[in-house]
């Protein structure tokens, strides 16, 4: 949480950020254990600059075999917040908007957005993951099944069909 009221009352004086979230689950990934967020925020002529260091352990499903893929994440990010009146074109601007009437700003949604943007779209548990058998669903990394492998089509779509 950013104390906007205090930030605006003390311009140019950095405010420490040190917060953590417990095991978060989002739509396409989850975060194991604690998410650590540290940094500094400073208010200068209506602009609030927020520097963040984010540390988390990301859990994604392997895009081939659906097993969990764990990766340690460390991000250094700089966010800029301005009131809507100080942003010329909110649609194309990289700047975030803050509400002048709000006293507090919850950083968590922004942190989750940054983490989400940094993730691999198709994670793999290992570079040569063999995936699942499109017929019986056997994890081919652990054991080969007796199914005849078809060469046509993308096996991943068949796995999806099975899941639906």
Binding site for Zn ion (CB under 5 A): 62, 64-65, 125, 129, 133, 135-136, 138, 145, 147
In the complex with Zn ion, the residue whose CB is nearer, 8 or 156, is 156
Burial (CB count within 10 angstroms: exposed 0-12, middle 13-18, buried 19+), residue 44: exposed
43, 45, 68 from 131: Cα distances, Å: 50, 54, 13
In the complex with Zn ion, the residue whose CB is nearer, 100 or 136, is 136
- Partnered with residue 105 across adjacent β-strands are 2
Q: In the chain, what is the straight-line distance between the N-terminal and C-terminal CA atoms, in Å?
A: 40
Closest CB 135 distance from Zn ion, rounded Å: 4
Closest CB 112 distance from Zn ion, rounded Å: 25
In the complex with Zn ion, the residue whose CB is nearer, 135 or 156, is 135
Closest CB 143 distance from Zn ion, rounded Å: 10
In the complex with Zn ion, the residue whose CB is nearer, 57 or 63, is 63
How are beta strands 104-105 and 2-3 bridged, if at all?
antiparallel
Closest CB 30 distance from Zn ion, rounded Å: 17
Tokens 């990010």 belong to 77
């Amino acid at each position: 949480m950013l104390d906007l009221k205090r930030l605006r009352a003390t311009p140019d004086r950095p405010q420490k950020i040190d917060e953590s979230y417990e095991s978060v689950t989002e739509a396409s990934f989850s975060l194991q254990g604690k998410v650590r967020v540290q940094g500094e925020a400073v208010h200068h002529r209506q602009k609030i600059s927020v520097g963040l260091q984010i540390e988390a352990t990301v859990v994604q499903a392997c895009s081939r075999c659906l097993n969990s893929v764990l990766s340690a994440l460390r991000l250094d990010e700089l966010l800029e917040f301005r009131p809507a009146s100080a942003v010329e074109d909110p649609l194309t601007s990289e700047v975030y908007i803050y509400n002048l009437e709000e006293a507090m700003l919850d950083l968590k949604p922004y942190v989750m957005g940054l983490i989400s943007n940094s993730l691999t779209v198709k994670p793999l548990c290992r570079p040569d993951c063999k995936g699942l058998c499109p017929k019986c669903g056997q994890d081919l990394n652990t054991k080969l099944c007796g199914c005849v492998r078809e060469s046509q089509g993308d096996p991943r779509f068949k796995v999806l069909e099975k899941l639906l």
